[in-house]
Every structure is written in structure tokens, then in C-alpha cells.
Chains A and B, each alone.
Chain A
Amino acid sequence: MPESDLSLTVNGAPRAGRVEDRRTLADFLREDCRLTGTHLGCEHGVCGACTVLLDGDAVRSCLMFAVQADGAQVTTVEGLGGAGGELSPVQEAFRAEHGLQCGFCTPGFVVSVTAFLRDHPDPSDAEIRDGLSGNLCRCTGYQGIVAAVKRAAQVES
């Protein structure tokens, strides 16, 4: 299988190596970087559990090859909290509003919402629901998640 050199920044730390061209960014992050917070729920770009930030944009790491992230800044759910282990405002809001149950989809939601609130600091209800519609959750019925986005928006504003 053809391989390529890869050099990128993951959660602020430089990383270089050689990967198979067909290796997805999600597998690179989970297996090569051992950042297992990025989850794979469908591997066809619908569920959003694998969402990471690529140069600040929320992307689905299952739909990208790792080599496509060459030179990029990647942030995973592990990179969102404070250095001392404290939760980010979005993570804190999910906890306060019971925005998670089994937790499998949660990293994708947290990453998506982080990017969404950066771009929509004062979102309407409709904007929130639209903003969340690219991530699937099977446990919460989205009640706590919608409330968490509202709370996080208030905290951050």
C-alpha cells in the first residue's frame, strides 16, 4: 500500500510520521496518536461522533485521509479542556444539563458545539437545533444537549 510522509499539529503538539495513504484521519488519531476520544459511529459521515477541528473547522475525521491533514492544526476532544484537567465551558454545560448518557456520541457533539458557538455566539433556538443536526445521539433525545448549548452560550457571552 502506498505511504506518504505526514506532518501536522495535534492538540498543539507537533507530530510527524509516515502513514498509508488510505488511512483515515480518525484511525490515525485513534490508533497512531492514541487519542481515543474521537469515536467512530458510522464511518460514512452521518453520525458526527468522529468530529474534530481542522484548522478550526469542524470536520468528520472518518471522511478524511490522514494525509489530507498534512500541515494542518487538528484539535480533538482531548484538546478542548484546560491544562489542569478542568472542563471547557461547553463540556461543563453538557454536564450541568445532562447532555449525555452513554457518552459515545458526546466527543463529536462537544467538538461541533465548540465550533458552532465560536461562529454563533448568541444563537437562536432554531440556529442551535440546525447547528446540532449534523450529530446523532441515541440516548438523550437531544433535550439536555440543546439546553447545554444555550447554557454554554450564556456562560461564554
Chain B
Amino acid sequence: MTAARFVGQRLPRREDARLLTGSGAYVDDVVRPGMLHAAFVRSDVARGRIVAVDTTAALALPGVVAVLTAADLNGLTHDVWVDYLGPGVDPTPFRVLADGDVRFVGDPIAIVVAESRYLAEDGCALVEVEIEAEQAVVDMDVAVAAGAPLVHPELDSNVAVRVPAADDPELDAIFASAAHVVTETFTQHRHVCSPMETRGLVSEWDPWRGELVVWLSTQGPHGARGFLARALGVPENRVRVIMGDVGGGFGQKMFMVPEELAVVLAGKHLGRPLKWIEDRRENLMAGLHARDDRVTLSVAVDAEGHILGIRGELLENLGSFAAPGSASGMFVGMVMPGPYRIPRFGFSSRSVYTNTCGRGAYRGPWMMETLAREQMMDVVAAAVGLDPLELRRRNVLTAADLPYTTATGLGYEDVTTAETLEQAAAMLGYADLRAEQERARVDGRLLGIGLALYVEPSALSMGSLSSEAARVSVSVNGQVQAVMSSASHGQSVETTVAQVVADELGIDVGDVTVLQGDTAATPYGGGTGGSRSAVQVSGAARDAAQQLRAKMIEIAAEALEAAPGDLEIVDGAVSVAGAPGSSIAVAEIARIAYTQPERLPPGTDMGLEAQARFRPSAPFTWSTSCHACLCEVDPVTGAVEIKRYVVSEDCGVMINPMVVEGQIAGGVVQGIGGMLYEHMAYDADGTPLSTTFVDYLLPTAAEVPTIEYGHIETPASTNPGGYRGMGEGGAIGSPPAVVNAVCDALRVRITEQPLSPAVVAGAIARRNAT
């Protein structure tokens, strides 16, 4: 291969010009002839029996075309499952509209279709719904208590998934003889993805072609196509899903939700194109929630602070209609040992239903393992009388430990846990800050330092997420198009894939265009999530480009009467290495390939087109990070100011460091928001209390620090490019770093969030009272 010229550069993004000028094409920008608009009537009680739904007044309103309920739509569905899990795996019921009962506030009861969105909402206000409210199951502990009402009456338990603790006499013996046993429980409150663009779709059924076309705000158009084909009982080759520009997802748009299927069914039923754009209240109330879990950890430690064993127990809230695969207990337990030498590990979990909005994925859906473990490291450090950095140093995996198999059976070959820990500590100036912290304390100022170390299971490669594909072609005029199986909703793939392809083909990055998002034109892909794109999508593009490169060299060798091994592609022309006088342009090679078969080498097929499907050589490609946070807490108001924030990250070979840092920063600030401001709160009756951005507080530019980055580039062995994913890591590491910093400032352990000024001030007051 040629020397990297574009990979590794901070190349400005080719997506930007259109997005900066208002020329992007998001789903709400799609208009179709004769298009109608949908709005939903939703339950305002968390649990109850639907006594009556009266649509008479709504239907009488001029401009309202239809009001459809479960009786109209639910029977139109066939198989409902996603490729990610396969049929019959997910225990969570799926229904298009509420049928007979409602199970959370926001449960869709009817869809109103009208000539405009204004009229659809007018129609919703005229639908009269009578619900006999019942006692809702809001709290996880209530859900698992004996005799609790069933959230889903057709199931026999509120526990959806249970991972039982294994009998482990060896672990019991470790705990019985350890110098210290430290136990603590950590709770994470519920928060939400909040992409700036809500959900939305335009669905159009063409009865003459027998074809469904859906413009969808999604993370995975192919997953949506397969889902819709099965749900409607339509052949997959009669369904086309088009993903244009998408305004963020963060996990929320990985799978289709019942409302989206309702819109597709209603549009087909009515024979008209139909648009639904979720509003912010709907997104916050019913658009899938995240986090909301509790972990108890017990850690056995020797006299020198070496961890001997850990027991963990997880309880997580799935809400009612959780997205497929949202029970994360198995995964949490598997990755919890993380970056440390932990000889023995035991774990159990329960994922439980409640009468609240369903749980979905959110950037590192398993991250409770890091949030709990990294808080626990600080708790253990205090219990054994060590500094938190020193405790981590005594337990962190170092190069000498590798290759290493965790107590849960995961293999690490090339993680840089100790290196990132030391880089972050050095960048922060850890020792100096500890001294400054003491001086400040004398002056009544509360500074706190928080660390969080983790390994991220990036590039998740299992089931339908195992592989991604690319079709790369050089057209007759010599320009390159890369057609990708999975598409960007902010990840900059249009730019990074072009960088990879340009390097492999020896052409200018400006000569590569990247096409993505339309199932009619792209190969199957699992969707953009799980920090997969850098490894899998780039890997496929790289392989396809290499095939093309070999063919271009072959054709050039014939034309130049040279040996293929002597040729190189530089700046869009093939020449003999070291003798650039005799060369042939890529455009000329393309013309030969498509129009001059007589000039092809014997046996060479026409055309310059290659397709590759890439699967990493392991289910996980480990990325390593350490976050270090310095905060100051106002001792009177309890307000937290983050004064410095350092991330040391090893994501292997960086295709575009600017994009890497952008992904880290976005994740870090989501974690800061989650720990300090954001809270999807419910009252005791199951009514959500934060369904506007006035109540659900996202961080703004005024609240966030400048983030400092340290990069360690250890090429990954799972893919030829050496890339590692880093899409989710920022949001995994920052929550415990922030919490640890605040608790360090207070010298009080607070085990619940968000750390609002009131909570922090309360902790200070309690500490001062003792």
C-alpha cells in the first residue's frame, strides 16, 4: 500500500458545507405529493384499562382524514422482530397501539391523520379517551416485590431477564479470608439520549409497484427495511428505506418504535404518503429512556490494596416497552472487571419491567459497569487508606500482564490501561493538584479530583452487527464512489471513509464520494452504533479499495509493459516506482476497463468495481481510556464547576484526529450533563416530570470545560487498518470521573445522581453536622 497521505490528517469534513448552509436533507424536509400528517393520542396515566375511545368529534373536524386505533392497525402486523436478536428472543411484548390497557404515560392509543400537522393535533384534542386508572408499578423494587401487579399481564413476571449468581466456593473463600471487604451500592438515575432531531418518518406505499418507500430518521436503514418487510408481510425487495441526514441518535434510533410502524401501517391503509415528526415532549416522554440502574459491589482486598475478588449485583429498569436487546445485565457483568487484575468475579442481575417509558440504548448502554466500578475504586481506596490513583496503579493491567484473560473470559492482547492512566495523571498534573487541593482546603475552597479508567468493547461484532460492507468503484471518467452499508448520523463517515479509500487507491481525497443510507443502493449493514464504523465500515472500504487497486495495477502493467510489482499509484497515476516518466492516469485505466476490452490483460474482467464485506477478527476491538476531572464545589450553594477535564484515549490508528476528538468531547459532555443536570424524573403515580427542555436540563456551552486530549495510538490487531472504535467511550468514562471529583471535593460519598446544587449542598450540610 502507499504511504498514508490522508489517514491521520485533521481533514475538514465534506458533510459540512451543506449542513452549514441549511442545505442538509433531514426527514422533516421531505415533502411528497398528497402527503398527510400524523399525530398521536397518548395515555396520560401510567397504568389502566381503556374503557372507551370516542373518535366521533375528531373525525367530524374538517381536514381530519382518519383516526385509527389498535382495532384498525394491530391486526395488520405479521412478524415483529429485529435482525439483531432474531425471532422469538426478546421477551418484551410489542404492540403498535395500546390495546385494552395502557402501560405507561405516553403509551400511544390512537393515530390521527389530517391534512396538516396543525389539524392532526386539533384532532387529537377531540379524541375522547376514558381510562380506568390502576395502581402503577413505577419503582424497580416494587416491581420485583412479591405480589406486585404485572406490568405486562400476559407475562408471568416483571423480571424480563435474570442472570443468576453462580455458586463459587473459590470466591466465597476469597471473601472469607480477605484483609478488607468493602461493600457499596450505586444508583444511576434515568436520563435520555435527546438527539437534537427527534424521530420522524415519511412513509409512502405505491400500490402499482407494490413498493413501500420510507424516509426515516434512523441509525440503521437496513435493519428498518427487514423489520418493516416482516411486520407488513411484504417481500424485502419491495421495501426501500432512505436515511438522509440524521440529527443524532446516540442509540435511540437504532430500532424502529411502535409509533413508526403505526405511521407506515396507517399510510398504507389510507393509500396516502404520511409524515410523522415526533415533537420534543413526545421524545422526552415516550421516545425511549436510558440508564436507570443500581449496582451493589462487594470487593475483597488484601492488606496492600490488591483486589482479590468482586461480587456484583445489578437491578435495571426496562420500563414497559423496552427496545430490543435493552436488558444489558449479561453485558454489564461480562465487561465489569474492566482494566484491572481481578482474579475472581461473580455477578447476578435482574432486568425488570415497570409502568414507565421503555429503556433503549444510549451511548455505552452497559456503562453502569464503569460507573459503579470506578466509584467503587475510590470507595475502596478510602477504606484501605490509599490515594485513588495509587489504588488504581496497584491493580491496573500493565503491558507485562498481556495477553490477559479476564475472570469473565474476555481476552485482551493490546490494551494500554496503565499507559492511559499514567498519561491522564501526568496531563492533569495529579501530584501537584493534590497539594493545591490541600492548600485550597485551608482557604475553605473545595477542589476535587476524579479518575475513571475503562476498556471499551468497541466495534461490536456479533449477530447482525458482525460485519459491514462497501462497494467501491472507479467510474469511466476516473472518479471513485464508495457505497457504504451503514451510514453516518453525525460520525463524519463521509469524510473518514474517503480518507481511507483515497490512501488505498493513491488518488486525491477530493476524487472520492461516499454514498450511504439508501437500501436500494447499498449493501446490507447492521447500522451505526456500538462504536463500529471506524473499524467495520472503514475496514470494508479499505478491503474493497485494495481489490480495485490490484486490478488497476494489473491493467496498467499491461499498458505500460511493466511488471505489476514495480508499479505504484501516486497522485492519480500509475507509474514504475522511481521512474515516473512512464505513467498512465487512473482515468485512462478506467476507460480501458470499461470501454477497451482489447487492452485488458488476458483473463481480466471488464470494469473497476469491487465489493468487500469486512468482519473484524474478534467480537470486540478494545479501546482504552482514562478520564481525569478537576472540579470546584461552592461550599454554600453546592454548585459544581468543572475546572479541567483530561481524556487519555487509545483508539488505535486515528483516521481523522479532529473527528476522534469531536466524538470524545460529545460523549464527555453527555456524561457531564447526565451526572450534573439531566434527570428524567417520575412522580409516584408514574407521571414523567421532565418532558420539556425547561425541565430536562441539557448542558450548554456555559457549563462545560475545555477538554484536553492525550492520544496513544496502538494499532488494533482485529483489523488491517489498526483502527479502534471510540464513539461511545466519552459517555462511559465521564460520569464516574465527574462523580468521583465531586465526592473527592466534599470528602463524602454520594451514591446517587444527578448531583444538583441542592443534593450537593445537602451533602455538605450533613457532613458539617457530623
Instruction: Determine if B22 and A136 form an interchain contact, defined as CB atoms under 8 angstroms apart.
Output: no
| Complex CA distance for A22 and B117, rounded to whole angstroms | 12
CB of B135 closer than 8 Å to a CB of A: no
A43 to B666, CA, bound (A): 23
Q: With A46-B693, A101-B490, A144-B662 in contact, do A132 and B701 touch (Cβ < 8 Å)? A: yes
Q: Does B661 contact A (CB under 8 A)?
A: yes
Smallest CB-CB separation from B707: which chain A residue? A143
Are the CB atoms of B490 and A102 closer together than 8 Å?
Answer: yes
CB distance from B421 to the nearest CB of A (A): 22
Binds B, one of A2-10, A30-38, A64-72: A30-38
| B247 with A133: CB separation less than 8 A | no
A42 close to chain B: CB less than 8 A: yes
Stretch at the interface among B162-170, B192-200, B388-396: B192-200
- SS class, residues of chain A in contact with chain B: loop
Nearest Cβ in chain B — how far from A143, in angstroms? 4
Expressed in whole angstroms, the minimum distance between the Cβ of A25 and any Cβ of chain B is 14
Are B701 and A145 in contact, CB atoms less than 8 angstroms apart?
Answer: yes
Q: Is A16 an interface residue (CB 8 A)?
A: no
Q: Name the residue on B nearest A144 (C-beta).
A: B662
B118 near A22 (CB under 8 angstroms)? yes
C-alpha spacing A119/B24, complex, angstroms: 28
Write the nearest CB–CB distance from A91 to chain B, whole angstroms. Answer: 4
Query: What residues of chain A lie closer than 8 Å to B16, measured between beta carbons?
Result: 94-95, 100, 103
Q: Are A102 and B197 within 8 A (Cβ)?
A: yes
Contact B666 A103, beta carbon cutoff 8 Å: no
Chain A min CB distance to B657 (Å): 10
CB closest residue in chain A, given B490: A102
Q: Type the 1/0 row for A98-127, where 1 means its CB is closer than 8 Å to any CB of B.
A: 101111111100100000000000000000
Contact A36 B22 (CB under 8 A): yes
What is the chain A residue whose CB lies nearest that of B664? A141
Q: Does B98 contact A (CB under 8 A)?
A: no
Q: Which residues of B contact A85 (CB under 8 A)?
A: 21
Q: Are B489 and A102 in contact (CB under 8 A)?
A: yes
Q: Report chain A residues within 8 Å CB of B195.
A: 102, 104, 138
Closest to B658 in A: A98
CB pair B659–A98 under 8 Å, yes or no, is yes
Q: What 1/0 mask marks residues of chain B from 592 to 626 whose CB sits below 8 Å from any chain A CB? A: 00000000000000000000000000000000000
The interface centre, meaning the residue of A35, A42, A44, A46 with most chain B CB atoms within 10 A of its CB, is A42
> What number of A-B contacts does a CB cutoff of 8 Å give?
177
Known A95-B13, A98-B659, A138-B666: A105·B21 in contact at CB below 8 Å:
no
Across the interface, which residues of B come within 8 angstroms of A142, CB to CB? Answer: 665, 669, 700-701, 704
User: Which one of B23, B193, B247, B698 has the greatest number of beta carbons of chain A within 10 Å?
Assistant: B247
Residues of A near B250 (CB, < 8 A) are 138
Chain A interface residue count, CB cutoff 8 Å, equals 57
Determine the residue in chain B with the shortest Cβ distance to A95. B16
Given A76-B22, A143-B661, A143-B706, A102:B693 Cβ within 8 A: no
Q: A18 in the interface, Cβ–Cβ < 8 Å?
A: no
Q: Is the CB of B248 within 8 A of A133?
A: no
Chain B 4-25 near chain A by CB (<8 Å), digits 1 or 0: 0000000011011101111110
The answer, yes or no, to whether B306 is at the interface (CB within 8 Å) is no
Q: Does B744 contact A (CB under 8 A)?
A: no
A130-B702 contact, Cβ under 8 Å, with A76-B22, A138-B248: yes
* Docked complex: A1-53 residues within 8 A CB-CB of B: 1, 20, 22-23, 30, 35-44, 46-47, 49
Flag if B700 contacts A102 (CB, 8 Å).
no
A46 B694 Cβ-Cβ under 8 A: yes
CA distance A119 to B238 in the complex (A): 55
**Contact status B693-A136, CB under 8 Å:** yes
Complex interface: chain A residues within 8 A of B698 (CB): 136, 138
Q: Are A35 and B490 in contact (CB under 8 A)?
A: no
User: In the assembled complex, which residues on chain B have CB atoms less than 8 Å from the CB atom of A78?
Assistant: 21-23
By the criterion CB–CB under 8 Å, are B670 and A138 in contact? yes
Closest to B673 in A: A138
**B668 within 8 Å of A (CB atoms):** yes
CB of A152 closer than 8 Å to a CB of B: no
A40 and B662 in contact, given A102-B246, A130-B702, A141-B704 (Cβ under 8 angstroms): no
Residues in chain A near residue B141, CB distance under 8 A: none
Is B404 interfacial (CB 8 A cutoff)? no
A81 at interface, CB cutoff 8 A: yes
Q: Which residues of B contact A134 (CB under 8 A)?
A: 700
Q: Report which of B197, B492, B706 forms a contact with A104, defined as CB distance below 8 A.
A: B197
Q: Are B665 and A42 in contact (CB under 8 A)?
A: no
* Assembly CA distance A136 to B699 (angstroms): 8
Q: Is B280 an interface position by the 8 A CB rule?
A: yes
Query: How far is A22 from B119 in the complex, measured between Cα atoms in Å?
Result: 12
B132 within 8 A of A: no
Interfacial chain A residues near B658, Cβ < 8 Å = 98
In the complex with contacts A42-B692, A133-B702, A91-B194 CB distance below 8 A: no
> Interface centre among A37, A105, A110, by most B CB within 10 Å?
A37
Residues of A near B659 (CB, < 8 A) are 98
Shortest Cβ-Cβ A-B pairs, 3 listed: A37-B22, A104-B247, A103-B19
Additional 9 contacts, C-beta under 8 A, given A77-B20, A91-B20:
A42-B692, A102-B196, A103-B245, A103-B490, A104-B245, A136-B196, A138-B193, A141-B670, A144-B665
* 5 A-B residue pairs with CB within 8 Å: A42-B280, A44-B693, A130-B702, A132-B702, A141-B665
